Amino acid sequence: MPPFEFRGNGPPRRGPSRDQRRREFTFRYPKPKTSERPLLQGQREGTPELLTTESTDKPAPKFASLADLSDSEEAEMDLSEESEDEDSRPRKRRVIASESKESTPPPLPPAPKWSNPDPYTSLPPPDESQHKRVDVVKLIRKAKLQNSLGDAKLKDAVTDNDDFISLGPTAEIPLENQAPENAPRGPKSMENQPPAMPSLKRTRDDESKGISFKTGKPKARFMDDGSILYQWKAFPGQNDTPWMAKSYPMHASQKLHCEVLDFFNWVKPHDYEQIVREDLIGRLDQAFKRRYGNVAVKPFGSFASGMYLPTADIDLVLLSKVFMSGGRKQFGERKGQIYAFSAYLKSLEIAVPGSIETIAHARVPILKFIDKLTGLRVDLSFDNDSGIIANQTFQEWKQQYPLMPIIVSVIKQFLLLRGLNEVPTGGLGGFSITCLVTSLLQHMPSSKQGNIGVVLMDFFDFYGFLMDYERVGLRMEPPGYYHKAFGDNDRLSIIDPNNSSNDISGGTKEIRLIFRAFRDAYDSLSRRIHEVAQSNEPKSILQSIIAANYDEYTEQRFQLRYVYDNSEQFAQYRSPPAERPAGRSGDRPHLTPHAPRRK
């Protein structure tokens, strides 16, 4: 028996009995390689189409013939992309052999390759330096053909889709409006309502602004020198002081006193503005009560105090029953709840589509939207009564200091024209302005409070030149000042009269620029008063600080007046027709034609 003998494999584990005869191992042929399969060896039937781009022609030339080139820039090459142009070119004239052999000239003898020229009769060799040299680089650039000219354009039926059969129409048929003539154009429930009032706001170039949406983080809009923004500047020849009367008293201080009163009476809300805004609050209050039961929508801020400008937003807060009874917050604690409020507000169709902005990740979550009926902007917060308490404090100060609302209206307009009235961009908020004016009146003798012009000049003088906000802060209750021991010395500090641990002006980071604007206002008013005192012509003193293009105010008021005159919910208030506001320069502003007034 040989020492090594192959006996094959062992018996299967679960095979038949042991006495079955074992079979010897047989080798199998290995599988052919993938590359050796007949499909890849080119053994296929001939097809009219080429599955792969094959070409038996010679490769296209990359360079032109040297005999056809010139290094001159004026001589341009005449290359064509199609082979058909080659046939149209004039060919060289061929030499046609004549039938008569006698007419053929005898051939010239070949010139010798090597010869010794006669030094007396032959010319000297040409000097290559006197001739123009051939620019080899230009010849190469001209001789190189484009790839598109050298590529062979083969006819490929597969690529050209010659066998494609389209199942659709051969030409595009324009769609036509198949709606019937009397088809409804809106919901049946809104059939009797007046059409929506288009936006009347226009740019400086007399173009419609439309509805703008404030989304994302606000950007700084103020100028570095604290001057008036471009969009508020008046046009040449425009009436930039629409509140000014024709005549004032002769004394300059009395003129400023009367003009400030005229401005306050012109800018304060009209009756129909208040009614339309209150109706918006009532519609929101009823809508949330239908969904969430015993809740309340309350206003705060400038609208609650009655000191809002014509284009001001409406600040609202949604109060839950639990918060109103025990002070425990129920709304606004979870982000998902804020988004649920946003979805419900969208389903009410109160807001303009696309105008709802949900700010759920802020310290104070709010919803921002634009009312569809009036075009007013609304900010809705949840379970926060700080604004309502601050409004109660404002009403108390208003009773103690009657001049406070008048001075506040001038300061608000002054900062608005310069973009310094928004806290998110570092400006001074409305309640902070109220505290500055109230603090001044708290320390001013009552004898000086009889003339509003004097109080206004003292305000710009004190906070523009005398107030050191880096070392001193304001305390409202009890009235006084305090020295800063810690905190941000570059910010204005005003202790909240309702919460001593809160600084209501901590977000005003542009206080240095604001106080600089107060200094410039004091200097401008002083010079203007001196000019008016020496002139007998009726001139505006406030023109030096708050003259602007007030068309936006007039247009906003006419838009609210249109809603007031054409909506059925305001019919009960239209018994005596309200007086229309004064237009710009005594003219009626541009209005879009609308439906006639319903009776």
Domain CATH for 546: 1.10.1410.10
Q: Do residues 420 and 514 make contact, with C-beta atoms less than 8 angstroms apart?
A: yes
Whether the per-residue pLDDT at 25 is higher than 50: the answer is yes
State if pTM tops 0.85: no
Q: Do residues 314 and 379 make contact, with C-beta atoms less than 8 angstroms apart?
A: yes
Q: What is the CA radius of gyration of the chain?
A: 46
Please give the Cα distance from 255 to 597 (Å, whole number): 41
| pLDDT (0 to 100) of residue 591 | 37
Residues 440 and 523 in one domain: yes
Please give the Cα distance from 452 to 253 (Å, whole number): 9
Residues 377 and 396 in one domain: no
Counting the structural domains of the chain, the total is 2
Average pLDDT, the chain: 77
C-alpha distances in Å from residue 438, one per residue of 398, 402, 407, 469: 9, 10, 10, 17
> In the listed set 356, 387, 418, which residue is the last one of a domain according to the structure?
387
Residues 449 and 505 in one domain: yes
- C-alpha torsion 16→21→27→28, nearest 10: -40
Residues 332 and 399 in one domain: no
Whether the per-residue pLDDT at 511 is higher than 70: the answer is yes
- Residue among 463, 446, 460 nearest 400 (CA): 446
Assign 232 a pLDDT band (cuts: 50, 70, 90): very high
8: left (phi over 0), alpha (psi -120 to 50) or beta: left
311 within a domain of the structure (yes/no) = yes
Taking residues 225-245, what's their average pLDDT? 90
- Residue among 376, 196, 209, 248 nearest 302 (CA): 376
| pLDDT (0 to 100) of residue 587 | 44
Residues 340 and 378 in one domain: yes
- Residue among 355, 16, 330 nearest 213 (CA): 355
Question: Letter for the amino acid at 592?
Answer: T
The residue with greater pLDDT, 285 or 118, is: 285
> What domain range includes position 396?
230-269+389-552
Residues 404 and 541 in one domain: yes
Whether the per-residue pLDDT at 155 is higher than 50: the answer is yes
Q: Do residues 59 and 147 make contact, with C-beta atoms less than 8 angstroms apart?
A: no
| pLDDT (0 to 100) of residue 584 | 44
The residue with greater pLDDT, 87 or 453, is: 453
397 within a domain of the structure (yes/no) = yes
Please give the Cα distance from 208 to 482 (Å, whole number): 50
Whether the per-residue pLDDT at 39 is higher than 80: the answer is no
Percent of the chain with pLDDT over 90: 41
Strand partners, 494: 474
Taking residues 5-19, what's their average pLDDT? 56
Whether the per-residue pLDDT at 85 is higher than 80: the answer is no
Task: Tell me the pLDDT tens digit for each residue of 48-68.
Answer: 555 554 555 566 666 666 666
Taking residues 291-314, what's their average pLDDT? 92
Residues 398 and 524 in one domain: yes
The residue with greater pLDDT, 477 or 576, is: 477
> In the listed set 345, 367, 387, which residue is the last one of a domain according to the structure?
387
Taking residues 151-169, what's their average pLDDT? 60
Residues 296 and 245 in one domain: no
Taking the alpha carbons of 546, 549, 552, 553 in that order, is the dihedral positive or negative? positive
Whether the per-residue pLDDT at 481 is higher than 90: the answer is yes
Residues 522 and 393 in one domain: yes
| pLDDT (0 to 100) of residue 318 | 94
236 within a domain of the structure (yes/no) = yes
Q: Do residues 5 and 24 make contact, with C-beta atoms less than 8 angstroms apart?
A: no
| pLDDT (0 to 100) of residue 396 | 94
Strand order in the sheet with 494-496: 480-483, 472-475, 494-496, 499-503
Q: Worst-scoring range by mean pLDDT, 67-71, 192-196, 389-393, 517-521?
A: 192-196
Residues 234 and 278 in one domain: no
Whether the per-residue pLDDT at 296 is higher than 80: the answer is yes
Whether the per-residue pLDDT at 557 is higher than 90: the answer is yes
452 within a domain of the structure (yes/no) = yes
| pLDDT (0 to 100) of residue 585 | 41
Residues 398 and 374 in one domain: no
26-40, 121-135, 253-267, 528-542: which is most confident: 253-267
Q: Worst-scoring range by mean pLDDT, 182-191, 278-287, 439-448, 480-489?
A: 182-191
| pLDDT (0 to 100) of residue 7 | 58
Angle at 212 between CA 211 and CA 214, to 5 degrees: 145
Taking residues 543-558, what's their average pLDDT? 94
45-49, 188-192, 529-533: which is most confident: 529-533
Angle at 352 between CA 347 and CA 355, to 5 degrees: 95
355 within a domain of the structure (yes/no) = yes
Structure tokens at 495: 């202790």
Angle at 446 between CA 441 and CA 452, to 5 degrees: 65
Residues 331 and 443 in one domain: no
Please give the Cα distance from 458 to 456 (Å, whole number): 5
